[in-house]
């Protein structure tokens, strides 16, 4: 079946959404979703061997492979179905139909599980619908997938609010400290910090070690994913090799924002050494180019 929805179709509908014209945007988006789902039912059925996604770039694909450990063949569809569902979700939000918005945004996450903005927006919809457990669970899921400091900081800020509601000021303080380190200017982070000062000022007396130990005891990672940082730096290396210095710089800055300068430098060194070893192995084996592993299969897995 020929793909019935294109990126330009989605962008056209999004233009009405951006202009605030929900009466035009919503039926357009609903019709595009109908067409997309007919195509999905016929041509994109997941099996034990294959799954379909609409990742935004090579980094997201690599990150999904390494974080989720999904062994199936990953097939990229030729239209951004995640954007389509996300646009429809925001149209429903504008109409205050939060249940329909939640359902649509769930599909956006399904089509691009590495997009943390979708996850955080979906978390807020669950919170608006009174499901604080799912709000916290989705926020938690962002920490191991976040590819920039602001997304991770917002996830920690959400969890900080969750722990405050659960009367665990020490864990909330751990969240606040990590969020401030990652994105001190973010309004959600500042809101949590202000709330901590107002409601539980005594938590500031605890040491970082105590606060983070309590957070870890609650099952929350006390740093963003090193695996994501590795993926960012691998893609930065590839971009530099291809002559795209702007992309390489952007990806490296994102990695640095997640794990810091020192860990970032150590990983860059490790990746360069790994790439050099691989190049040497390929040069010594004339059959290697035909069977050479992709970034999804190669590269260091070490923690920084």
Among all chains, which residue has been given the structure tokens 């020192």? Answer: 262
3-state secondary structure of 264: helix
The token duo for 121 is 């927006």
At 164-219, the pLDDT tens digits run 999 999 999 999 999 999 999 999 999 999 999 999 999 999 999 999 999 999 99
Cα dihedral 65, 66, 71, 73 in deg (nearest 10): 20
- pLDDT above 60 (res 38): yes
Asked which of 37-46, 192-201, 275-284 is least confident by mean pLDDT, the reply is 275-284
Confidence at residue 273, expressed as pLDDT on a 0 to 100 scale: 86
Helix then strand then coil, in percent of the chain rounded to 5, is 70, 5, 25
- Confidence check: pLDDT of 295 > 70: no
Contacts of 13-20 spanning 24+ positions with Cβ under 8 A: 13/87, 14/83, 14/87, 17/87, 17/90, 17/91, 17/94, 20/94
**What gap in Å lies between CA 30 and CA 17, rounded to an integer?**
13
pLDDT of residue 283: 77
Query: What is the overall mean pLDDT for the chain?
Result: 93
Reported as a single tens digit per residue, the pLDDT across 204-242 is 999 999 999 999 999 999 999 999 999 999 999 999 999
* pTM, two decimal places: 0.90
CA distances from 211 to 111, 195, 217, 225, 268 (A): 36, 17, 10, 19, 31
- What the block records as the tokens of 61 is 């694909």
- Token pair belonging to 303: 């923690």
Count the Cβ atoms, other than its own, within 10 Å of residue 45: 10
- The torsion of the CA quartet 172, 175, 177, 183, rounded to 10 degrees, works out to -140
Token pair recorded at residue 25? 């945007």
Token look-up 């040069």 returns 283
Hey, how many other C-beta atoms are within 10 angstroms of the C-beta on 102?
A: 21
CA distance 92 to 289: 49
């Amino acid at each position: 079946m020929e793909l019935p929805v294109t990126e330009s179709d989605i962008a056209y509908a999004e233009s009405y959404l951006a202009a605030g014209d929900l009466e035009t945007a919503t039926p357009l988006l609903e019709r595009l979703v109908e067409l997309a789902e007919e195509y999905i039912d016929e041509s994109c059925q997941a099996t034990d061997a294959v799954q379909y996604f609409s990742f935004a770039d090579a980094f997201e694909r690599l990150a999904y492979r390494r974080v989720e450990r999904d062994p199936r063949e990953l097939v990229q569809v030729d239209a951004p179905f995640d954007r389509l569902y996300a646009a429809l979700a925001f149209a429903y939000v504008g109409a205050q139909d939060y249940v329909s918005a939640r359902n649509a945004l769930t599909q956006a996450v399904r089509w691009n599980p590495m997009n943390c903005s979708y996850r955080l927006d979906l978390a807020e919809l669950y919170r608006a619908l009174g499901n604080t457990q799912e709000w916290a669970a989705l926020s938690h899921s962002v920490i191991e997938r976040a590819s920039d400091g602001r997304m991770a900081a917002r996830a920690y800020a959400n969890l900080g609010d969750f722990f405050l509601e659960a009367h665990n000021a020490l864990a909330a303080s751990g969240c606040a400290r990590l969020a401030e380190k990652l994105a001190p200017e973010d309004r959600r982070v500042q809101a949590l910090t202000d709330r901590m000062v107002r409601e539980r000022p005594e938590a500031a007396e605890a040491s970082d070690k105590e606060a983070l130990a309590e957070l870890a005891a609650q099952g929350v990672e006390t740093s963003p994913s090193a695996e994501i940082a590795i993926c960012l730096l691998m893609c930065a290396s590839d971009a530099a090799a291809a002559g795209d210095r702007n992309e390489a710089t952007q990806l490296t800055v994102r990695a640095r924002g997640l794990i810091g300068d020192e860990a970032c430098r150590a990983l860059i060194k490790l990746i360069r050494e790994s790439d050099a070893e691989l190049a040497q192995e390929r040069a010594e084996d004339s059959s290697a180019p035909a069977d050479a592993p992709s970034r999804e299969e190669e590269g260091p897995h070490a923690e920084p």
